[in-house]
Amino acid sequence: MPQTIGILAPAGRDSAVIADILRKAWMDCIECASGDELIAALDNRRAGVIVVSEEAFTRSELEALMEWLKHQPPWSDLPVLLLTKRNGNGVLQANLAASLGNTTILERPFFPGTLVSAVRSALRARARQHEAEDYIAQLGARERELKEERRRLARSETKLREANEKLGQRFAEALEEKGILADIVEGTDAFVQVADLNFRWLAINRASREEFERIYGVRPEVGQSMLDAIAHMPDHRQAVQEVWGRALAGEEFTEIGEFGNEARDRRFYEMKFNTLRNHRGERIGAYQFVYDVTERVRDQQRLADAQSRIHEMAKLETLGQLTGGVAHDFNNLLTPIVGALDALHRKYGADARARRLITGALEASERATTLVQRLLSFARRQHLEARPIDIGDLIRGIEDLLRRSIGSHVEVTVTIAPKLRAAKIDPNQLELAVLNLAVNASDAMAGGGKLSIDVAERRLGEGEIADLAAGDYVRLAVSDTGTGMDEATMQRAIEPFYTTKGPGKGTGLGLSMVHGLAAQSGGALRLISRPGKGTSAEIWLPVHEGEAYPLAVSRPELTGQPRQTVILLVDDEDVVRRATADMLREIGHEVIEASSATTALKLIDERSDIELIMTDYLMPGIRGSELIEKARDIRPGLKAVLITGYARITAEQPGVVRLAKPFRASDLAREVARMLSGEVVQLPVRARTNDG
């Protein structure tokens, strides 16, 4: 079912402009003239997101919208995009955002692409909420089944209570009497116990006697003190004394408690206590009816865990979508910056002062590029490439980031063996994995400690480490002096969503991700830990015979071009397209620019001398990969370069080179030369000009 976008931006043409941008991106919108009209739309339509400006509400309308949001179903958290003024009152804007709940602030003016990206992210998050709605509905059906079971048990309890009232009336006068009522109590599957004011059993039915023996290893007998029976287990004795003490003091209550020796079995029981009186109405003890409700409690716990996990997954998905969108926009900004600095470096490199300033700016841009790659890695929107790398060089490159991430309370030691051979893995994913392990270690040393990172080569024998064949490996170990893990925690440490941290402090995905990365790279994750002795997380990767891929980007000269040609450049971002066109013209090619797929296809149909198309991957209406396919329907054999800021491309197209943003003129020259050095496509010759 499609989702509607509600728009409330009454100032000027804001509402119409926003609606036009979103409809061009194939989104269903409804423009609202007032807050009341917006709320009516929310009631009558399947709302995916609302886009509102900060000045749109009167006080009463805002209160009405807040009331609507407050009464959303439990699964629902309607996304709100709040459009703010650049120089507006930050405190008021923040308060308004907080009042509206699940709010993303977009500062005006903004790029249309930023609005579309934010709305799509919100719609995807909303779709996940609807998935959660369906899943919770299924869990609700199970809960209704459990409620029916509880009603059945309640009916059984009512019957027992009726019998019990008769037993209470006759118990003091004829405790030894055997009859129908005693047979019912003795034969029921409920656990029935009766005790005097000194905790001595006056009566106990067969089911209760067997259950007590099963969970404590002691068979109870009438006349025996229940406290003496388990005196050798002080903790359990105290738990029994506390709950029975309340009943023997005259309190009548029903509650669920967990009892049993951990070495045998431990279960949840629903216990109903009543006061026992003699024929004169004097309190002489207490009796209980007990049911094993372990499965019911565990079902409720599983339901709560499932709801919590759905909420965490929705938050991670939303955060990942927003991170990916921001990183994409950042790459678009970096591309012309890096290109301009690269051109200035070649032009003014002979001047020492200019070279120093430009080199510093380039290095800062490269650090920004690295930061974006880490953001993309977190958002799972990076094109992943495993390649042979020097693990030691990678650790040296992120050492400062590690120290800043874990804080000054932890002493960090890095040891890297000399002359390491390469290992094949995705470097960005490995950086994220090491950072994850370091942060986990820091959390385990809240009061301070030592973190050691050690990289060395090791030779393994057959069967020395499970799932690893004999051979040479690079071992990356992250060790701490923290709290450590017991055996039970170790067994579950790499399970997805398993975490020992409190609510909101961990997702339980960190070690699972590291384990998956190591396994997919042909290696393994090994955990060594003992309570109070710290933890060591070891990533073992097979040695790669061959040269390591350089992690530091060099600054080669521009690659010579086999020939000059005509290139069609397609990008909806004007500043990125102009910067790329300047680089292409600098290396000698004629460039034809297009800001949309429609214009590009028309030019390919009209210009038979276009030999190569370079297109951005993510554009309104059509993706770059789809544009290349349509262009090749018109011109089979057309060479193509696909430029992307963050897209994960799962299947490579034949004859298509992928170029990641941001790039420098040398990167562009290399990839164009690579395309032109292949099979030459015979195209009609056309007079070329320098201005394109």
Task: Indicate the average pLDDT of the chain.
Answer: 79
Give the mean pLDDT of 612-625: 87
Decide if pLDDT at 242 tops 90: yes
Decide if pLDDT at 326 tops 90: no
Last residue of a domain, one of 501, 517, 550: 550
521 close to 425: Cβ distance less than 8 angstroms: yes
CA 603, CA 588: separation in Å to the nearest integer? 21
Q: How many CA atoms lie within 13 A of 99 on its CB side?
A: 18
Helical packing angle, 427-443 and 510-520, nearest 10°: 150
Query: Residue 557: its pLDDT value, please?
Result: 62
Query: Residue 249: its pLDDT value, please?
Result: 93
Whether residue 147 lies inside any domain: the answer is: no
Do 536 and 573 share a structural domain? no
Whether residue 71 lies inside any domain: the answer is: yes
Do 518 and 440 share a structural domain? yes
What's the pLDDT band for 238 if we cut at 50, 70, 90? very high
**Helix, strand, coil percentages, rounded to 5, for the chain:** 45, 20, 30
Last residue of a domain, one of 550, 576, 595: 550
609 close to 683: Cβ distance less than 8 angstroms: yes
| CATH code of the domain containing 205 | 3.30.450.20
Which range, of 93-102, 219-228, 256-265, averages the lowest pLDDT? 93-102
Which percentage of the chain shows pLDDT scores above 70? 78
5 close to 30: Cβ distance less than 8 angstroms: yes
Whether residue 63 lies inside any domain: the answer is: yes
In this predicted model, what pLDDT tens digit does every residue of 433-458 receive, in sequence order?
888 788 878 888 877 888 999 999 99
Do 51 and 190 share a structural domain? no
Do 534 and 408 share a structural domain? yes
Pairing relationship of beta strands 639-644 and 610-616 according to DSSP bridges: parallel
Query: Residue 492: its pLDDT value, please?
Result: 64
What's the pLDDT band for 170 if we cut at 50, 70, 90? low
Q: Which of residues 684 and 501 earns the better pLDDT score?
A: 501
Do 11 and 107 share a structural domain? yes
CA 614, CA 16: separation in Å to the nearest integer? 33
Q: What would you report as the CA-atom Rg of the chain, rounded to the nearest whole angstrom?
A: 35
In this predicted model, what pLDDT tens digit does every residue of 339-388 receive, in sequence order?
677 777 666 666 777 767 677 676 666 666 666 665 555 444 445 568 89
Do 479 and 580 share a structural domain? no
CB atoms within 10 A of CB 690: 7
Do 540 and 405 share a structural domain? yes
Distances (CA, A) of 244 to 230, 248, 461, 601: 14, 6, 60, 83
Burial 656-674 (b: 16+ CB within 10 A, else e): bbbbbbbbbbbbbbbbbbe
Give the mean pLDDT of 5-21: 84
- Looking at the DSSP bridge assignments, the partners of residue 649 are none
Do 588 and 526 share a structural domain? no
Total structural domains within the chain? 4
Whether residue 283 lies inside any domain: the answer is: yes
Whether residue 476 lies inside any domain: the answer is: yes
In this predicted model, what pLDDT tens digit does every residue of 177-231 receive, in sequence order?
555 666 677 767 788 999 999 999 999 998 888 999 999 999 999 999 999 999 9
| CATH code of the domain containing 516 | 3.30.565.10
Residue 560 is classified by DSSP as: P
Do 670 and 610 share a structural domain? yes
Q: Supply the range of the domain harboring residue 109.
A: 4-136
In this predicted model, what pLDDT tens digit does every residue of 487-524 receive, in sequence order?
766 666 666 544 555 444 444 445 667 777 787 788 88
Whether residue 688 lies inside any domain: the answer is: no
Place of tokens 């359990």: 236
SS3 call for 129? helix
222 close to 202: Cβ distance less than 8 angstroms: yes
Alpha helices by DSSP H, listed for 386-509, are 391-406, 427-443, 487-492
Contacts of 443 (CB under 8 A, 6+ apart): 482, 501
Place of tokens 């910056």: 337
Whether residue 146 lies inside any domain: the answer is: no
Among 52-61, 218-227, 399-408, the range of highest mean pLDDT: 218-227
CA 294, CA 300: separation in Å to the nearest integer? 10
| CATH code of the domain containing 48 | 3.40.50.2300
Do 541 and 656 share a structural domain? no
CB atoms within 10 A of CB 487: 9
Selection from 669, 682, 662 nearest residue 371 by Cα = 662
pTM for this model (two decimals): 0.38
Whether residue 358 lies inside any domain: the answer is: no
Do 671 and 588 share a structural domain? yes
Do 570 and 546 share a structural domain? no
Last residue of a domain, one of 113, 136, 159: 136
Residue 407 is classified by DSSP as: -
The dihedral region occupied by 449, where left means phi > 0, alpha psi between -120 and 50, and beta the remainder, is left
Query: Residue 682: its pLDDT value, please?
Result: 35
